[in-house]
Amino acid sequence: MAVKVDIERCTGCGLCVKACPYGAVTVQDRKAVMSDRCTSCGACLAACPTEALASDLPPRVEVDPSQYRDVWVIAEHREGRLHRTSLELLGCARKLAEGPGHQVAVLLMGQHVSGLAAPLIAGGADTVFLAEADHLDRYQTLPYSRVVADLVRDHRPAILLCGATFQGRDLAPRLARRLDLGLTADCTGLEIGPDGHLYQTRPAFGGNVMATIVSPYARPQMATVRPGIMEALVPDPARKGEIVQIRAEAHPGDLLIRLIRETKAERDRVDFHKARIIVAGGRGVGGPEGFNLLRDLAQAMGAELGGTRVVVEEGWLPYERQIGQTGQSVRPEVYIACGLSGAIQHRAGILDSRYIVAINRDPDAPIHQVADFRLVGDLHKVVPALTRLVRERTGSTTEA
């Protein structure tokens, strides 16, 4: 318990009881009493009119935001190729940098990765901090966080972005701890607010609300961003940027993991990112056989096949094809939603689609509210009719 009550000063007015969001304070014998539910949030301190409450936590150190500039992105690569999230983050970073006149920098770590600096500059980076060393060849938490933390301390960026990928989800919390920062994980929206702070939006409470989070007291403001949400810029090979070589020393204490062997998991590779059209199904498809209708339509249109969490849980489609908050986010030209209700967690992954077509027999299904084209009817009739139409129009005769 970190809030103490000065019995002499406390009048038992109870304002602290009202102010406490955790129900940690009671008044007994006209004196405030703290329970172990107290989180030291400080709400009661501000409410107490007699200054009878004191926290034994060290006072918060507030930074001067004017001392922090620029938007930084941590780049990721696999097998010599940039992870697409790095370019999406760069697109986002450029927009964030525009208003305050920030520069955009990328941290590129690895071994023999200097060839990736040019595409990063073409994708929007003004500066690439390039740290190449044997011990950075494969991602490891401690050596990578050391490089980033040292650079951040030296250069003081205002914003630091990582992909909400396996790597980013591992690295970002470690950095937050090392640098004593807040971290907003898995953001789906970022913008600079009127007060100059970064407004970081992410689904919360199981995706039932979108929460916008601000870190006014810490710099840099750090967020991980969901892959597939932000838009990469059209690469401009004529863009000019600076490459700054960074010396990254190996620290024996960081090298706790030795890679002995790498085995690739067999996975159904689904590249929703490249798909111009996606045909997705939900519970209303009725079972794995029902998906054959959707497969026919997808094949006729040259589309990818996806589905809701329900169909993945039912085993009708593999997880790689799940779309939504806990699956993949997609942004095709056309998203054809068949027999799915459009729950908020599903919609969170499709709202950047250019056109949404809903096929649902319930005219009140939520998916119709976000659809550009609404087809109210039984998908078992509508989908084959649509497939026939597409085949007639395109001259395609291929049957699945």
Ligand X SMILES: Cc1cc2nc3c(=O)[nH]c(=O)nc-3n(C[C@H](O)[C@H](O)[C@H](O)COP(=O)(O)OP(=O)(O)OC[C@H]3O[C@@H](n4cnc5c(N)ncnc54)[C@H](O)[C@@H]3O)c2cc1C
Cβ count within 10 A of residue 51? 10
The torsion angles phi and psi of 347, rounded to 5 degrees, stand at: -60, -35
Residues 127 and 241 sit within 8 Å (Cβ to Cβ): yes
Q: How far apart are CA 189 and CA 334, in angstroms?
A: 22
CB of 85 to ligand X, least distance (A): 18
Residue type, 182: G
Q: Decide if residue 85 touches ligand X (CB under 6 A).
A: no
**Which x/- pattern, by CB under 6 A, does the window 339-368 give for ligand X?**
xxx-x-xx--x---------xxxx--x---
Q: Decide if residue 378 touches ligand X (CB under 6 A).
A: yes
Q: How far apart are CA 209 and CA 191, in angstroms?
A: 18
Q: How far apart are CA 232 and CA 255, in angstroms?
A: 34
Cβ count within 10 A of residue 369? 11
**Which x/- pattern, by CB under 6 A, does the window 187-226 give for ligand X?**
-------------------xx-------------------
Q: Decide if residue 309 touches ligand X (CB under 6 A).
A: yes
Pairing assessment for the beta strands 53-55 and 3-5 based on DSSP bridges: antiparallel
Q: Decide if residue 325 touches ligand X (CB under 6 A).
A: yes
Q: Residue from 324, 329, 331, 332 that binds ligand X (CB under 6 A)?
A: 324
- Please give the C-alpha separations between residue 319 and each of 269, 311, 327, 361, in angstroms, as whole numbers: 11, 9, 7, 26
Q: Decide if residue 308 touches ligand X (CB under 6 A).
A: yes
Map tokens 């941590």 to a residue: 74
CB of 346 to ligand X, least distance (A): 3
Whichever of 62 and 362 has its CB closer to ligand X, that residue is: 362
Q: Which stretch binds ligand X (CB under 6 A): 48-56, 251-259, 263-271, 308-316?
A: 308-316
Residues 55 and 40 sit within 8 Å (Cβ to Cβ): yes
Torsion sign (Cα): 255, 257, 261, 266: negative
CB of 299 to ligand X, least distance (A): 20
Q: Kindly determine how many residues on this chain lie close enough to bind ligand X according to the rule CB under 6 A.
A: 29
HSE-CB at 352 with a 13 A cutoff on CA atoms is 20
Q: Residue from 10, 310, 330, 356 that binds ligand X (CB under 6 A)?
A: 310
Q: Decide if residue 284 touches ligand X (CB under 6 A).
A: yes
Q: Decide if residue 374 touches ligand X (CB under 6 A).
A: no
Residue type, 218: A
Q: Residue from 146, 283, 368, 391 that binds ligand X (CB under 6 A)?
A: 283
CB of 166 to ligand X, least distance (A): 17
CB of 99 to ligand X, least distance (A): 32
User: Can you give the binding site for ligand X, defined by CB under 6 A?
Assistant: 206-207, 282-284, 308-311, 322, 324-327, 339-341, 343, 345-346, 349, 359-362, 365, 378-380
